[in-house]
Each structure stands twice: as C-alpha cells, then as structure tokens.
Amino acid sequence: MQPPSQPLDPSRRRFLTEAARSFLGLSLLPLQSWPKLPGDLPGPQARKMIFLYMNGGMSHLDTLDPKPGAATQGETEVLGTKVDGIQLSAHFQNLVGHVDKFALIRSLHSTQGAHATGRYFLHTSFLQRGTIRHPSLGAWLSKIDGPLHPNLPAHVAVNAGNDTASAGFLSARHNPLPIGDPGSGLQHSRRPNHVDDQRAARRLDRLQAMNQKLAKQGQNAGTAAYAQAYEQALKLMQSRDLQAFQLDSEPQWLKEAYGQGRFGQGCLLARRLVEHDVRFVEVGLGGWDTHNDNFDRLAELVPELDQALSALLADLQARGLLEETLVVLASEFGRTPKINDRTGRDHFPQAFSALLAGGGIRGGQVHGQTDATGENIVADPVSIPDFNATLAYGLGLPLEKEYFSPSGRPFRVADKGRPVRSLFA
C-alpha cells in the first residue's frame, strides 16, 4: 500500500484539480458525398450550441461581408453564391456550397475596441467590472437547462483562452471543461498502471473522509461546488463516456475533411461532443489580429476556417444533428475597412459580421447591411446584447427572467438585448 503521506501522481492530480475548477471552461469531400436530410423544422429548436470564436478580431470585408470594387476591399477576391445578394471572400471555397444552411448578420457593432474587454462583452453581454464577473452563455445554459448527459459536462471549451468563457458569479460547476489539444482527448484522465482498483478505492475513501471533516467544520458555497465538481470529474474518469473526448474512432477521411490542425480537429471534437449530448462547446481559432500583413495572413487563416466549418455543417446535417444544434461563428469586433501602411487592418468595433446555422435558423438570408465601403451600418444594427439574446432565444432560454448574484443584484441572460427573431424559420 502506498503510504498516505505520498502525494497522488502529479499529472493525475493536475487533471482532477483542473477538471474540478472547470466544472466549478485536404479540402472537403464533394458535397454530394454527404447524405441529404430534410430541411430545418420551423422556429427555434436548438438544444445544443457550438460556438466558433475567432479570437483577435475577424475582418468582415475579408470574410463574410466583402465589398467588390471598393478600395477598402484590398487584395481579397470575392465569390458569388447561389443566393442573390450573398457574396463571400474567395477564401471560402467550400462554404459557398453551404449558403442554404446559414444566415449572416452583417450589422454587428460593439462598444468595446480592445481585445480583453471585447472578448468579455461578446461572451457575457456585460461590460467588464472589477467587482463582479458575469457568466458566459454556455454557463447560463448549464445553469438553466443543466447537462443532457449524466456523466458528461454541459459546457466544454476547446482551444479557448482562460479569459473567454466563465461561470462568472454562478456556481463554479458551470465553468467550461477546458481541452487544450483536441487530438489528445481529456489529458491525465486515465488511472496510472500502478494504481489498481483497490488502491484507487482507498484513496477515494480518504478523500471522502477529508471532505466530510471539512463539511462538519462548515463549507462555503465555493468549497461545496469544488467538492461537487471533483466528484463529477471522478465519475467521468470511471465512465465509458470518457471516449466521447477521443477522436481515435473517427475515420481518417473525416479527420482530413475537417483539417488536421487544432481548429479542424477541435470542430470534429465539438461534433463528437454534441453527438454525446454535451450542451455547449466553444472552439477557438486565434490569429485574427492582423495589424500587419492582413492579406497574406488571411490567405492561410480563412481557408483553415472554411474547411473546418464546412465539414462541421455537412457532418452535423448528415447525422441529423444540425436541426438541434445552433452553430455560431463570431469575433469580438471587426477590422478597419481602411488599410493601414503595414498592409494591415486595425480594430473596428463599429461594424462587423457573424454567421449562424442550424437550430431552426433559416438559411440563405442576410440580416443587416453596411455601406459600400464596409465602414458604416446602414440597416438593422445588432448590438452585442442583441446578438446574445438571439442565441439565447434560439436555445429557448428565458430572456426576461432575473437571476441574482451573491450580492443580490439582478441579471438577465443577455442583459437588455432583444433577439432577432426573423433569423429563425
């Protein structure tokens, strides 16, 4: 028997601690190779959400709202689609074939033009304050609807930074479970070979005894949430459902269809997780802060996004998951239409774009409009709280209900945002 004074295996202890804190953050195959399924059912119907977060500020002109012929368009070429009025960056060679599946918002605007405050605002609908941390949408979904699967978390973040999704003032168990490398699964989640069932049971008994002793001494809400999260992490480690985090069983052709980088494999993992009834998965893709060499950098970055997003939409549809999964592509702000002297674009919260698909979204439509240069919104502006209210509406979350912070202050899921209901079929 291992002496009680000897610590647990460090890597395993790191996993348990991180999991506890968390619960407590090739080109595509031809389109015709994917099975065809009936169109979307009417109205909001999402039970799950995949949020593709473009960290750094994605240029709307070089992606979802190009301005052919304008001086502000720069070097990025433009592709037409089968839907009149919808053009995309020519880097979206695959996504143009899925225009019937998604809607575009081309009139997003934010009050925050710095990365940290912009990320926070996008994820929470609230301005960043030193006295409180607000919940992100995945945390709200976890709290209000709870997990769909008894052994899996409701909220997972893949390739995401520590300052994006958070439980905020909610119980720490609504934090996302972080996944750094999607190809490695849930790291440190398997028991070391030298720890057999009996030794593991003895360790858990000692842990439970210590927890009970602490409980008798009095626990605050944070300590209780940590203990609950620890138990949930252990339950997951001992469950067959751990394989939901493993990509090994996915066919090689599908891995290649998504792209072999972390973002592509992260999107494949997201599909796998929602297939196993994880409610909310965020997948991050950085590199969008293109103050320098905007066009050369996006010539590499946008095709990576194009491949993964197109594969995700096709895969979800083929498996009958698109109707119940809201897929969202967004960034904290856009980038200046004016090209700077370093062939780059700077921060631009005044106007930018987002994409929504699945979950009752009516595909092939555009909401909002910018002018001929992409500098000004000229129709149907959508604020960040409006945007999050739209996502919450699609998920069936209550927009008017108030929830109270530990200090007794009332908060709503998307603050005072109003949903864009016309986006839904």
255 pLDDT more than 60: yes
12 pLDDT more than 70: no
Is residue 30 assigned to a domain?
A: yes
* Strand intervals (E) in 276-415: 280-285, 325-331, 334-335, 347-348, 352-357, 365-367, 369-370, 377-379, 382-383, 403-404, 410-411
Q: What is the pLDDT of residue 200?
A: 61
Is residue 256 assigned to a domain?
A: yes
Is residue 275 assigned to a domain?
A: yes
Could you give the number of structural domains in the chain?
1
**What are the residues whose beta carbons fall under 8 Å from the beta carbon of 377, sequence distance 6 or more?**
107, 109, 350, 351, 368, 369, 370, 371
Are 415 and 65 contacting, i.e. CB atoms less than 8 angstroms apart?
no
- Report the distance separating Cα 33 and Cα 55, nearest Å: 32
The larger pLDDT score, comparing residue 269 to residue 130, is at 269
The single-letter code of the amino acid at 400 is E
Q: What is the pTM of this model?
A: 0.84
Q: What is the pLDDT of residue 299?
A: 98
- Report the distance separating Cα 337 and Cα 74, nearest Å: 9
Instruction: Lowest mean pLDDT of 17-26, 114-123, 369-378, 385-394, name the range.
Output: 17-26
| Torsion over CA: 98, 283, 326, 239 (sign) | positive
Q: What is the pLDDT of residue 40?
A: 38
19 pLDDT more than 90: no
- Report the distance separating Cα 83 and Cα 421, nearest Å: 21
Q: What is the pLDDT of residue 234?
A: 61
The larger pLDDT score, comparing residue 361 to residue 34, is at 361
Q: What is the pLDDT of residues 126-137, one digit of tens each?
A: 999 999 999 999
Is residue 355 assigned to a domain?
A: yes
The single-letter code of the amino acid at 226 is Y
What mean pLDDT do residues 43-67 have? 96
- Report the distance separating Cα 351 and Cα 344, nearest Å: 17
Instruction: Lowest mean pLDDT of 8-12, 245-249, 297-301, 353-357, name the range.
Output: 8-12
What mean pLDDT do residues 287-308 have? 99
What mean pLDDT do residues 278-293 have? 98
pLDDT-derived band at 185 (thresholds 50, 70, 90) equals: confident
Is residue 1 assigned to a domain?
A: no
Q: What is the pLDDT of residues 238-253, one digit of tens each?
A: 667 899 999 999 999 9
- Report the distance separating Cα 243 and Cα 314, nearest Å: 23
Residue 371 structural domain: 10-423
- Report the distance separating Cα 191 and Cα 25, nearest Å: 23
163 pLDDT more than 90: no
Q: What is the pLDDT of residue 220?
A: 58
Q: What is the pLDDT of residues 82-123, one digit of tens each?
A: 999 999 999 999 999 999 999 999 999 999 999 999 999 999
- Can you tell me which residue has the tokens 């609230």? 126
Instruction: Lowest mean pLDDT of 44-58, 74-88, 200-214, name the range.
Output: 200-214
421 pLDDT more than 80: yes
Q: What is the pLDDT of residues 314-361, one digit of tens each?
A: 999 999 999 999 999 999 999 999 999 999 999 999 999 999 999 999
Is residue 5 assigned to a domain?
A: no
- Provide DSSP, 155-213: EEEES--TTSS--TTS-GGGSPEEES-GGG-STT-S--TT--HHHHHHHHHHHHHHHHH
SS3 of residue 24 by DSSP:
coil
CA 111, 388, 50 angle in degrees (round to 5)? 125
Average pLDDT, the chain: 87
The residues facing 79 across adjacent strands are 88
Cα–Cα distances in Å, from 36 out to 27, 270, 271, 316? Answer: 20, 21, 18, 11
223 pLDDT more than 90: no
| Torsion over CA: 60, 311, 86, 110 (sign) | negative
Q: What is the pLDDT of residue 208?
A: 67
424 DSSP 8-state letter: B
Q: What is the pLDDT of residue 361?
A: 98
Q: What is the pLDDT of residue 218?
A: 61
10 pLDDT more than 90: no
Phi, psi of 8 (to 5 degrees): -65, 160
pLDDT-derived band at 226 (thresholds 50, 70, 90) equals: low
Dig out the tokens for 36 from the structure.
Answer: 């065809």
**Strand 177-179, strand 155-158: pairing:** parallel
Are 143 and 168 contacting, i.e. CB atoms less than 8 angstroms apart?
no
Report the run of H or E that residue 105 belongs to, with start and end. Answer: strand 102-109
Q: What is the CATH number of the domain that holds 105?
A: 3.40.720.10
- Report the distance separating Cα 68 and Cα 71, nearest Å: 9
Q: What is the pLDDT of residue 186?
A: 75
What mean pLDDT do residues 222-232 have? 59
